[in-house]
Structure 1
């Protein structure tokens, strides 16, 4: 592997050891010797890589594997996904408990963009990939890295934790970006980003497993030397049970099983304690439907003086 620039910018260099080349080599050798085997790591096809990235945004990787395989069995190519009925894609997302359903909508729309606007070929740069619906900077950079070896240094919560502990980088987004960029060898974003994310996910978890996982950076690690394994706070997710997110998912799932439903027929299928004029009644249900309509997932129309909801096709 190449060592990349011998000197990082001054702001990043103050946090890094002098032997940056040895730090890089140790991590890549550790990763290539043994790492978790996820199927999307065995391909450079941007379509399945994009699917894996979108699925894993709010879901543990081990839980994503089966859903990812099922998704690609249903829609094996970007053209197949583009031609799919959006309601089927959203229903799949809900059935597999993959989080916010608008991600399914955006993934479907991105597939249409690739086929209709890019002649079936994915953009190969982070900036180009961000032109796709729902693809933000992090996802774009990940796909550029893992599909085309053409990305920048990935910085997620795991990477921030690694840099904070190993090199005493302050809890500052700009500092994390600078140090991560200085560490990554030029032109090797695929292996490097996989390796440093693996380090954060296997050895440098919230509860570190330095020795058990054979962390390759123990010789340079500030936390390992001092015994202080504090790290930046990680935001906690609100409880899912009974949440609006759960109820929105139920609305989508129920509507996926029917062409359309009046509100008073939909409501009891979403909450058993639905009462038209109660706390969880028409006003509450209409709020969920308005949110879903804003996301482009649901349509509500008046029919014979009654509000009727259906999935947007």
Structure 2
């Protein structure tokens, strides 16, 4: 099978993802393991109640998540079910929204109307597909898909700003909505929308934000990442290259962090850990790495002993 055949068979267009690895299962496993090992514990991630998840999604549209948590908990304490919300006075719901600074008050109105629809049109049972969920007042394609994913594990790949940033940086996906949707769909494992969409959004929120934290957050996609390899961390919502990213200062920081974790490291072992494209005789090889170590030695941070491939580096005590 040719590369063109593989692209056609995957539903991708030419140029959608120039850096997409052939072994997608390894990419998927790395992200799932990273997410399952440690992630932010938002309370709506511990429920599959579509009503509670819808409330969290609507609240999150214009409010930082750390502020959403107490508002979400207060809202559900006051109106714990869709039936309770539908029976409430709409002015009380709007007043709650305003008191908690949750953005446009019409979202409270839409949420109240959606709960009423669930009770009157669906017999109290939430619709479970993205298409049906969009019939609810104020529920657009993104919110419908999120509820279908997180409540029913039956959604499509979520493509929000965080996901676009991740795909653009990791796999060199062009800034095109169609390309993002095709690559996101290709990456998501079948029948696993709940965990996968949470995981890839967590990656964008924790490790691959506007200011990336690749090493600090232990990004699971570093070995495949186009941005990590090239040092270019621009993205659709990060139009200007941050001065730190891809700089010698960034790689010096990686060296110091690694040497802090090990008593000492050989030159090539260190190089492979700080750059995925490190090759001893390449552009970013031993000569380049010795230059960084020399800078750190002059600053009194690192001791370097030996020569050639026998070079050893350690933090200065």
| Match in the other structure for 2:41 | 37
Alpha-carbon distance in 1 for matches of 2:20, 2:144: 27
Q: Are positions 1:9 and 2:11 aligned together?
A: yes
**Residue 204 of structure 1: aligned partner:** 208
Distance 1:122 1:16 in 2: 37
Distance (Å, rounded) in 1 between the aligned partners of 2:179 and 2:39 = 28
Whole-angstrom distance in 2 between the partners of 1:234 and 1:42 = 32
2:50 matched to 1:46?
yes
Aligned to 2:224: 220
Task: Indicate yes or no: 2:234 matched with 1:233.
Answer: no
Could you tell me which residue of structure 1 aligns to residue 145 of structure 2? 141
Take 2:159 and 2:238, find their aligned partners in 1: how far apart are those partners? 14
* Per-residue deviation, residues 79-137 of structure 1 (Å, max 9, x unmatched): 00000000000000000000000000000000000000000000000001000000000
2:21 equivalent to 1:23: no
* Contact 2:161–2:237 under 8 Å retained in 1: no
Runs (4 or more) in structure 1 with deviation over 3 Å come to 12-15
- 2:202 & 2:196 partners in 1: Cα distance? 10
**1:157, 1:234 within 8 Å by CA — same for their partners in 2?**
no
Q: Which runs of structure 2 are paired with 1:1-313 in the superposition (5 Å)?
A: 8-11=10-13, 12=16, 14-233=18-237
TM-score, normalised to structure 1, is 0.72
Instruction: Give the aligned length.
Output: 231
Where 2:155 maps in the other structure, the secondary structure is coil
Q: Deviations over 1:215-240 (max 9, x none)?
A: 000000000001110011369xxxxx
Aligned to 1:119, the other structure's residue is in SS state coil
For 2:270, the equivalent position in structure 1 comes to none
2:246 aligns to what?
A: none
Bigger Rg over Cα: 2
SS of residue in 1 equivalent to 2:115: helix
Q: What RMSD, in angstroms, separates the aligned Cα atoms of the two structures? A: 1.6
TM-score (normalised: structure 2): 0.71
Residues 233 and 10 (structure 1 numbering): CA distance in 2 closer, same or farther, change over 3 Å? closer
Distance 2:48 2:65 in 1: 18
Q: Distance in 2 between matches of 1:155 and 1:233?
A: 14
In the alignment, which residue of structure 2 is the partner of 1:246?
none
Whether the 8 Å contact between 1:15 and 1:179 is mirrored in structure 2 is no
Structure 1 residue ranges without an equivalent (≥5): 236-313
Report how far residue 138 of structure 1 moved. Answer: 0.1
Q: Which has the higher contact order (CA 8 A, sep 6+)?
A: 1
